[in-house]
Amino acid sequence: MAIDLTTEQTESLSQAARTLPPGRAGRPVSISCMLRWILEGVRLPSGDRARLEAIRLGGRWLTSKEALQRFAEAQTPNLDAHAKSPRTPTARSKASECVERELEKAGI
């Protein structure tokens, strides 16, 4: 989805960075970090990438409050889904061994 200049509240990267809470070690989010989010995005647990939507206008980058919201939502896991995370190879192996023992006891 692209930023719509007619309906979204656009702001420069420096303005957008100032609206975000501090990051690591209490340091503010930098403009270069914002630009990385636009160009490279961030890797999601699924392996996909979420990118901050932005437009180039008059030689500068603009984003919007709504784009920041969509960017944050793309990174936030759905905790209500109650989906189990995939088991590790060790957990699968242990479960398989347990089932084999139960089948042997049952004579199968």
Is 60 part of any domain? yes
Is 52 part of any domain? yes
Return the closest-CA partner of residue 5 out of 58, 71, 74. Answer: 58
Is 46 part of any domain? yes
Can you give the pLDDT at residue 87? 78
Provide the residue range defining the domain that includes 28.
1-77
Can you give the pLDDT at residue 86? 75
Q: How many distinct structural domains can be found in the chain?
A: 1
Is 49 part of any domain? yes
What whole-number distance in Å separates Cα of residue 50 and Cα of residue 52? Answer: 7
Can you give the pLDDT at residue 17? 96
What whole-number distance in Å separates Cα of residue 72 and Cα of residue 9? Answer: 16
Kindly report the pTM of this predicted structure: 0.70
Is 11 part of any domain? yes
Is 30 part of any domain? yes
Is 87 part of any domain? no
Is 63 part of any domain? yes
Q: Along the 108 residues of the chain, how does pLDDT read in single tens digits? A: 789 999 999 999 999 999 999 988 999 999 999 999 999 999 998 889 999 999 999 999 999 999 999 999 999 987 776 556 677 889 889 999 999 999 999 888
